[in-house]
Amino acid sequence: MSTPRAHTPKPLPDGGHLFEVEHRTEHASRPGFRISELKISPTQKVPWHFHTNVQDTFYVIEGSLRLFLREPKQEVRLGPAESYAVAAKRPHLVTNGGPTSTTFLVLQGIGEYDFVPLVEK
């Protein structure tokens, strides 16, 4: 797996301010690990980004989720009770995969969290 290019932006301690969601709740947070719940409308998304040290594990509670990944290019579709883990340093975009709002959990860890935004391709 190749590493992100040198011209990518600096890591942010949190990227939540870069995108809108219908609802966001943090269920657990401790050094090196956190669990967040997000609800996104059919038109909302979490923009292209990666994390330097932590893996994102997505678990769908309600609705349909689409993950677009790079390095290598891949698309993953998830429904209720399905999960998928995105390795650290792997660029990904998260979108709603259906006509209604989608609720999902994101488990992030183990390691120091950051958010590195990328330019969409």
The pairing of beta strand 23-30 with beta strand 33-40: antiparallel
Taking only the tens place, the pLDDT of each residue in 11-57 is 655 666 667 889 999 998 888 899 999 999 999 999 999 999 999 99
Closest-CA residue to 65 (of 52, 57, 14): 57
Q: What is the mean pLDDT of the chain?
A: 88
pLDDT band at 115 (very low <50, low <70, confident <90, very high): confident
Residues facing residue 28 across a β-bridge: 35
Do residues 28 and 42 touch, judged by C-beta distance below 8 A? Answer: no
Q: Please compute the mean of the pLDDT values over residues 69-79 and round it to a whole number.
A: 96
Structural domains for the chain: 19-117 (2.60.120.10)
pTM listed for this prediction? 0.84
Q: In whole angstroms, give the CA distance from residue 115 to residue 49.
A: 7
